[in-house]
Amino acid sequence: MGKQRIEFIIRPDGSVEERPQGFTGEACEEVTRRLEQTLGVITHREPTAERYQNADDQDQTIDHRQA
């Protein structure tokens, strides 16, 4: 599994953008849920491509060579 981290961008108007990286599927929402409750109202949510991956898919390698 790759490195997991959450990046926060705090804008001059006080709004906060969080960017979870390295989490797949629902793990992203699970890990950020408590943080979001503490930070306040969520005005926008934009899932990344990782959100739609299954955790099991992360380590799979596909061999496209013909037998």
Q: How far apart are CA 35 and CA 55, in angstroms?
A: 22
Tell me the pTM. Answer: 0.57
At 55, is the pLDDT very low, low, confident or very high (cuts 50, 70, 90)?
low
pLDDT at 12: 94
Residues 24-45: b if buried by 16+ CB within 10 A, e if exposed: bbebbeeebeeeeeeeeeeeee
Q: Which of 3, 36, 31 is nearest to 17 (CA)?
A: 36
pLDDT at 48: 78
Stretch 8-20: mean pLDDT, rounded?
Answer: 88
> Within 10 A of 23 (CB to CB), how many other CB atoms are there?
23
